[in-house]
Structure 1
Amino acid sequence: MTSPKLANLNAKLANEFDVAAQALVWLRESIPQLVGAIAVLVIGVILVRLLSKAADRALIRSGRVEPTVAKFLSNIIKYALWVVLIITVLTQFGVRTTSIIAALGGLALAVGLALQGTLSNVAAGVMILIQRPFRVGEAISAGTVTGTVQGIGLFTTEILQHDGLYVMVPNNELWNKPIVNFTRMPTRRFELLIGIGYSD
């Protein structure tokens, strides 16, 4: 007859052998998926770097996009490619990515609602840099602000007023108001009213 301690030891050993056998079976079945995921990851990293650099160069060489907008768009393309790569690698492991995509969509919606004002300034900044209603060094008037443009960013535009005051205007406020550019046209009409007395 075996003692209770020996029986417990045999049971533990048998349990450990079962766990090891299950681990070996899982590893044997998962090796193709693991190799495929590593291959997809390596190739994907190379492609992401090449495509992001190519997009950055294409945007800069086009000459139609401001450097600030080109960098912003290239970063968006790069992050989007990274998200696609991560989802593809998870798919190779058999992970259901539908819930992950839904969670990312919900997170993006929440962030968009929380940063609604900031994102509107970014969108207005992108439109200003693309449409170019004014450039750095030009004198403009928009709303209650009149002065010379010192810098254009994604969030704000820097304007030096004629009285020497430095103003940072949110791009959304500029984009939603009529913009008068005093420098764009080389020739313009100027009206000067001179009063003359009847006795003269």
Structure 2
Amino acid sequence: MHPAGPAAAVIATLWWVLLAGATAIFLFVAGLIAFAWRRPPGDRDERGFVIGLGLAFPLAVLAALLVYGLVVGERLLPRPGPDVVTVRAEARQWAWRFGYGDAPGRQTEGVMHIPAGRPVDVEITTADVIHAFWVPRLAGKLDAVPGHVNVLRIEADAPGRYAGLSGEYSGPGYREHRFTVIAHDAAAWQRFLQGETP
């Protein structure tokens, strides 16, 4: 609920829109039920209710959700660009290993380093069973599947430390399958790429 990046902000907005919409629909249906109970006994024309509220209302709501979902989904897709950084994340029971496209051969265990203010494509895979890569304040969750690479776009608005975890049950011990993302300012990122320990 405290997004620290563009993708997380889009997801948080989606959550609030869905909550507000579900509340409005609930109150509307509750009002219809109250109206139906208080309706005079001789008033029995249900055709308007069936067509207007049984067909038109759900179709309008579902169409609006579809359009909104497509727009949000499009905003979350990774796109190539000159500023994009690539990090490879490999899960295994019970650790994460990270490799860096801008620093070949450089790897870290349990800590992923990224530059703040730049988009990062995380190439997610696993060495054993299905895990899930999730940094709640930066982006949504994406599964790590054996033999396959999934790409998730994350970005941190500001330098800092962000908690990450595997959001997929993958056997006893998964609750401690955590990692940390450290977002660096431009100077600290360059030092990291040159091999200095932050």
TM-score (norm 2): 0.30
Greater radius of gyration (CA): 1
Task: State the TM-score, normalizing by the size of structure 1.
Answer: 0.30
Higher helix share: 1
Which of the two has greater strand per residue?
A: 2
